[in-house]
Amino acid sequence: MYHTDHLRELEAESIFIFREVAAQFQNPVILFSGGKDSILMTYLAVKAFHPAKVPFQLLHVDTGHNFQETLDYRDALVAKYGLKLKVGYVQEAIDAGHVTEEKGVNASRNGLQIYTLLDELEKGKYDAAMGGGRRDEEKARAKERFFSHRDEFGQWDPKNQRPELWNLFNGRKHIGEHFRVFPISNWTELDVWQYLAEEKVPLPSLYFAHERAVIERDGVLLADSEYIPKKEGESSFTEMVRCRTIGDITCTGVWRSEATTVEGIIEEVATSRMTERGGRADDKRSETAMEDRKKQGYF
Amino acid sequence: MNNKNTELLRFTTAGSVDDGKSTLIGRLLYDSKSIFQDQYEQIEAISEKRGEEEVNLALLTDGLKAEREQGITIDVAYRYFSTPKRKFIIADTPGHIQYTRNMVTGASTANVALLLIDARKGVIEQTKRHAIIASLLQIPHIVVCINKMDLVDYSQEVFDQIHDEFEAFATKLDVKDVSFIPVSALKGDNIVDRSEKMDWYEGTTLMYYLENVHISSDHNFIDCRFPVQYVIRPYNDEYHDYRGYAGRVAGGVFKKGDEVMVLPSGFTSTIKKIDTYDGEIKQAFPPQSVTLLLEDEIDISRGDMIVRTNNQAQTTQDLEIMLCWFDHNKPLQLRGKYALKHTTQDIRCMVKEIKYKLDINTLHREQEDTNIKSNDIARVSLRTTKPIFVDEYRQNRATGSIILIDEATNNTVAAGMII
């Protein structure tokens, strides 16, 4: 019989979405965060248009609080596949007074990214922004469409989403509106790792267990960094850790881990009892933190 | 759990809060270790805050603020779990009558429809509605879970009675494969482990069913259909003359060397190569995304369809469809014009005739009632602005389906199955 295993079926679905975006939109862009999901996205986009070049730019919203490893990896990836990269800086929005930096020990620039993201989308006249959001990540994302309509303010209206049936994706919009597109909606964390392992895609070293100076806050380990002021009683100590997600350094939790290979990570993910976003300080702010940010235009 | 060569099974469930659907899904997720500790702790805390006695597993699927506040499910939620045999995607949809559109959405890509019946209530309107939608949307397999068996003393008589009642109703439908399982989602009977309380039941557990139901022939592997999605032209020295037709195989098996015809031009050629990033492959079949290269230079663009010369899709401008209307604000307009999407084609159409409205509780055809409002299902004739290449929906879900779009609001206002 003609058999397709689940990873190949997910791959085929994502490739279909990328090609559909290229066909339906004038100026699409891939949102690149440096995390494994945006790495997977870029890799699938390369597959979708082979042997031609990817007909999209990458857009990285840089909070200024990065792991250096992320930037090095990003630049190497862009060079390898001959991609075009655009970077939007949150620092510029702060300097221009468009947004105000959060204060206090839990200050993060994660929420401030929304302004820079929407500003860059407008300046670049992008009509479709592709993100690596997955429905298994978080409860508000479980209701997300592949083609997700945004109004002229970039807002999401979860109660009034377009029904999405079969393989028919409606990307029609009015001037000034745009779409968020999620080509890897149906992948789970485990699928992503299994696929990256099977395809032997090189990954940033942050994902593998390494020794790092960390602090512990609200039960979450955070990388010790100049961007995270310490609370009273907090002190830095060294642990064998790895990142399960990679984002802004101020809100990316690290996990105690011994996994130094992709196979080790797969084993760990398969037996883990915590979701990967369990370590994200940005999601812990309230029960509907993700939905609230998404409505404003966040990913 | 980290077995790589597993199949993907999509199933849909519909029901309201009190029929135990959330408990059933919760149990599948919990017993397959797909609920994580932090998720569980979160819903545990919320349940406690609301003064609920037990941990409310429905909170796992109700993701939006409004849904939590109102205790109802508004929208389709997608859930994932896997076992060593298969990866599962659940399209979990609300069962209230006003959310038929969500049921239709969830059903459109499903291999299996999971119908839940409360053993105390038997076959009710919602069961029938869900079964009719499963039949209209041609979900290949239906599994009827007769739930809350613990509340009817695990009685075989009750099970048999509901079984017979459903079968009598199902004879009026176009369903091929129906199975029945007596379960108690709350107590875990026949979900993952066999019940010790129902010796009279000789069938499988729900999990065994989901892991083993035969889905590899759910696609059409006979009628070759390749809607061209995108033309790949690298414009560089290495691939100077490369002209690839990218798309997802919608039906049949395409092989290198096959003689093919391109619709609408009718030109014929031979498949020179089936290309992918990972190299050339010998054959392509659903649901693969590939790139076809032909021997002859023919003008082909997005919206064209590559078929076999001796097995073509029907080229037509007149469509007979069963339609599900989605728009809350405006009813379907007779003689109204809409944008229409079919495979990779974007065209327009006019509503020529509204033949009848289908009562989705009784299957009665109401010929006098042509006022088609949100969540209604109707038989409709359309005329398109140019020819499209279609199959009956029963033959092929990919080439037999359309959506309609309101040209003023750009909203998707209807789904249609070609008859």
Shared-domain flag, residues A228 and A167? no
Domain-located, residue A59: yes
Structure token digits, residue B267: 């030109």
Structure token digits, residue A127: 């009509």
Give the closest of A139, A163, A174 to B101, CB-based: A163
End-of-domain residue from the set B249, B273, B308: B308
- pLDDT higher than 80, residue B10: yes
Shared-domain flag, residues B303 and B328? no
| Chain B residues close to A15, C-beta within 8 Å | 248, 289
Shared-domain flag, residues A115 and A222? no
- pLDDT higher than 90, residue B41: no
Shared-domain flag, residues A130 and A208? no
Shared-domain flag, residues B11 and B37? yes
Higher pLDDT, B76 or B378: B378
Contact state of B342 with A163 under an 8 Å Cβ cutoff = no
Sign of CA dihedral B32, B36, B40, B41: positive
Helix or strand holding residue B365 (H, E): strand B365-366
Q: Which domain holds residue A159?
A: 6-191+288-296
Shared-domain flag, residues A52 and A170? yes
Interface mutation target, options B49, B277, B300, chain A, most CBs of A under 10 Å: B277
Shared-domain flag, residues B241 and B387? no
pLDDT in tens, B73-128: 567 888 888 888 899 999 888 766 667 888 888 899 999 999 999 999 999 888 88
Q: Which domain holds residue B243?
A: 225-308
Shared-domain flag, residues A26 and A84? yes
pLDDT computed for residue A289 by the predictor: 59
Q: Nearest 5 degrees, angle CA B319-CA B322-CA B327?
A: 105
Q: Is the Cβ–Cβ distance between B407 and B339 less than 8 Å?
A: yes
**Tokens 């007074």, located at residue:** A97
Higher pLDDT, B306 or A246: B306
Chain B: give the shortest CA distance to residue A221, in Å. Answer: 15
Shared-domain flag, residues B28 and B166? yes
| Chain B residues close to A182, C-beta within 8 Å | none
Chain A: give the shortest CA distance to residue B392, in Å. Answer: 15
Shared-domain flag, residues A183 and A227? no
Q: Residue B288 belongs to a domain with what CATH number? A: 2.40.30.10
Shared-domain flag, residues B279 and B398? no
pLDDT computed for residue B1 by the predictor: 39
Q: If you measure CA to CA, which chain A residue comes closest to B93?
A: A143
Domain-located, residue B38: yes
Shared-domain flag, residues B319 and B300? no
Check if B109 contacts A (Cβ < 8 Å). yes
Pairwise CA distance, residues B81 & A194, whole Å:
15
What's the total number of domains in chain B?
Answer: 3
Interface mutation target, options A168, A220, A262, A290, chain B, most CBs of B under 10 Å: A168
Check if B338 contacts A (Cβ < 8 Å). no
Regions of chain A where pLDDT drops below 70: 1, 105-107, 251, 272-299
Residues contacting residue A114 through CB under 8 Å, at least 6 positions apart: A293, A296, A297, A298
Shared-domain flag, residues B327 and B366? yes
Shared-domain flag, residues A12 and A92? yes
End-of-domain residue from the set B256, B274, B308: B308
Contact state of A1 with B216 under an 8 Å Cβ cutoff = yes
Shared-domain flag, residues A113 and A229? no
| Distance of alpha carbon A27 from the chain centroid | 20
Contact state of B1 with A270 under an 8 Å Cβ cutoff = yes
Shared-domain flag, residues B208 and B132? yes
Strands (E), chain A: 28-31, 57-62, 85-89, 128-130, 147-150, 178-181, 210-217, 220-223, 237-243, 253-256
Domain-located, residue A1: no
pLDDT in tens, B60-76: 665 555 555 555 556 78
Shared-domain flag, residues B182 and B45? yes
Cβ count near B281 (within 10 Å): 15
Domain-located, residue A198: no
Size of interface A-B (CB pairs under 8 A): 189
Among A123-127, A284-288, B167-171, B403-407, name the one with the lowest average pLDDT: A284-288
Q: Residue window 176-195, chain B: list those with CB within 8 Å of chain A.
A: none
pLDDT level of residue B42 (50, 70, 90 thresholds): confident
Global ipTM: 0.91
Give the closest of A3, A135, A266 to B216, CB-based: A3
Q: Nearest 5 degrees, angle CA B150-CA B36-CA B53?
A: 45
First to last CA, chain B: 41
Domain-located, residue A75: yes
- Taking phi over 0 as left and psi of -120 to 50 as alpha, with beta for the rest, B281 belongs to beta
Shared-domain flag, residues A169 and A228? no
Domain-located, residue B278: yes
Domain-located, residue A31: yes
Shared-domain flag, residues B172 and B98? yes
What's the total number of domains in chain A?
Answer: 2
Pairwise CA distance, residues B161 & A169, whole Å:
43
Supply φ then ψ for residue A143, to 5 degrees. Answer: -105, 5
Check if B326 contacts A (Cβ < 8 Å). yes
Q: β-strands B268-275, A220-223: how paired?
A: unpaired
Structure token digits, residue B124: 């009710």
Supply φ then ψ for residue B340, to 5 degrees. Answer: -130, 135
End-of-domain residue from the set B212, B241, B263: B212
Amino acid present at B326:
F
Shared-domain flag, residues A147 and A221? no
Higher pLDDT, B352 or A284: B352
Amino acid present at B413:
V
Shared-domain flag, residues A65 and A115? yes
Q: Is the Cβ–Cβ distance between B21 and B191 less than 8 Å?
A: no
- pLDDT higher than 80, residue B182: yes
Domain-located, residue A175: yes
Q: Residue A133 belongs to a domain with what CATH number? A: 3.40.50.620
Return the closest-CA partner of residue B73 out of A283, A143, A296: A143
Q: Is the Cβ–Cβ distance between B229 and A20 less than 8 Å?
A: yes
Check if B403 contacts A (Cβ < 8 Å). yes
Higher pLDDT, B112 or B241: B112
Q: Is the Cβ–Cβ distance between A56 and A131 less than 8 Å?
A: no
| Chain B residues close to A10, C-beta within 8 Å | 8
